[in-house]
Structure 1
Amino acid sequence: MIERILPTDDARDLLDLVTELADKELAPRAADFEARAEFPRAALRTLGRAGLLGLPYPEEVGGAGQPYEVYLQVLEILASRWLTVAEAVSVHTLACYPVAAYGDDALRERLPEMLGGELLGAYCLSEPQGGSDAAALTTKAVRDGDDYLVSGAKAWITHAHSADFYNIFCRTGGPGPDGISCLLADVPAAGITPLKPERTMGLNASPVSQIVFDGARVPAGRVVGGEGIGFKIAMTALDSGRLGIAACAVGLAQAAVDYAVDYAKERQQFGKPIATFQGLGFMLADMATQVSAARALTLAAARLRDAGRPYSAEAAKAKLFATDAAMKVTTDAVQVLGGYGYVADHPVERYLREAKVLQIVEGTNQIQRLVISRHLTRA
């Protein structure tokens, strides 16, 4: 049992509800859906109807008005039962951010629908030749009367085949970050084609795909915040998104610790449980400590965000540390189980494969180090 210090009794009740839903609706289905590579769209609708797809957004626009500190603990609980679902919630929350933070009144009227649970969003930033170098993106949007015509391609897009709306970061002006805008597009739509899902190492129930835009029409009123501020929107959104991925990493790592501890208490060697051997017990202690440290770093960054203070560097630190910790902890969990850890009868091999992608999405961990170092050395 994790002892949580929460700001309100309502927050505690929320986490109790999430735990109950995750135990009943998510955990029993995870292994089967991952084995079949089937996206759990119905599970996302269940969470949405429970109010869990708009947690950190204001109640007046259809959200739940929860602080990020609470929202991230919800993600952690979901990830400890099924990472695919937690990542989906995190991506959807990220996809709602541009309209919530930068949209005009007309676009913000769509927020209750976007946050209400029936719709799912995607965040289309990365491109086949430009992942980390977002300012160099080449997807273009050219004005044509009352519309923009969008041409180009995006890559590694979560929810490419399942989303009801896309945030498309594209070039409406000259080179560099100042030429980038964000368009909100409803899908499916003519000229927008998600390609065949990629064959990935993990998160098989959350397929990613390239998306091709071939003269896709998006109304001019769907430019979020006006032309030329798309790069700013993308970068500020990613600060919040990185905290979401950090929380997912904490939940996944916690699941690995819990499984390894339970296994070590039951597995007998040389006439006693392997948990009693100092070498293995110390490994479990280090695993648990890494998870606690990652959780503390993540929630500390969330509290800065909730207080309206700068948190970009702290979000990068949290994402960096938590995802590296998840990779180490899941690797050690496989080692604790020995040969059994290497077979799919136990979930720790899946946890290990899933942990790897968390070091890559929302900015690789090398990019996180770049963000942190620039904050340290800027004048």
Structure 2
Amino acid sequence: MKKIVYKKLSKDCVNFFLLVVFTISIIIWVLQAVNYLDFVIEDGHGFLVYFKYTLLSFPKIISRIFPFAIFLAFSYILLKYENKNELVIFWNFGIKKINFINFFIKFSLWFVLISLLLNAVITPFAQDKARSFIRSSNLDFFESVLKPKKFIDIIGNLTIYFDEKNKKGELINIFLNEKTDINNSQTTFAKTAIVNIDNNKKILTLYDGKSINVINGKISEFEFSKTDYNISKFNSNTITYQKTQEAKTINLIKCSLFFNGSIINSTNIEIENIKNCRLDNLKNVYKELYSRLVKPLYITFLISISLLFILKSKSDHSFNINKFKIYLFAFLFIIFLESSSKLISTNLMQNIFLSIFPLILTLIIYLYFVIKLKINKV
């Protein structure tokens, strides 16, 4: 009988959790996808890149709302059972509350593992994969970024300006400035220009103009009646390098151990192969490791908070006040959890304490259950 009860209750919690996490994630994903349209409208990337990038942002959204969805799901189901007097039936069948709590604390470990897998493996991989699509993409929608009487500088090392675009699609009185470095640049003026495609490459064909080259302080110029400008060699100014949150977890661990002297035989070459592994970026590495490996440990504590609802029945006069206090405490804690990364520093001992803090909190709330149930003798 007990196994059936636990199975039914855990199944309801899982089903409602999946409903909550995917419903909220889809809503956030749709809203976020609208913002990502800038990749097409402003940065000139193609719709296929846009679709892949937005799709791969879904794991990150799930990982962010995971703690909130966990508490909401378990608290809702437990209150639902309480309002239907089903929890009273469990206690009458001889199920002890402490055994009930023990079961759900053990059950919470599955959610901890899922959260660890999501935060430490799936999300970084998806983010890096999404960034790789931008790295490898060209300006598929180059024409979409061109606007008259406006300096367009979203294309790396190139600034474009033109007066207007006529019905033939020609750009009138166009100006281009390409800077290869501080000492070298090329400025080009043309009466008209039009975008063509040659061998799958975007070419800006310029007519009746002049080009001025500056090479190490020396100026040279030449006039032309027609010339081709290879646009495909340029990329947008969208960030394409790998960020710390996109790095593999194992690489971040190696980086943190290296700077703390735990890896004796490591060489500078090995560390250089780990992107963003620098002493001035060590704090960000610690923050990322905290988010991936420590925050999921709070899942057990959040489920334990929801179990506080079983300590009082709905017939108790203080049930509603108690319910309000639990919800308030849980939401304040979730806010703390989301902002707790700011407490991470380069101080190793402080970071170690923050890493074991979820275990300390779980132990404290479990002792509270034991003491409370012992006093009430249930």
Which TM-score band applies after superposition, normalised by the shorter structure? 0.3 to 0.5
Q: Which has the larger radius of gyration?
A: 2
Q: TM-score, normalised by structure 2?
A: 0.33
Select the structure that is richer in helix.
2
TM normalised by structure 1 equals 0.33
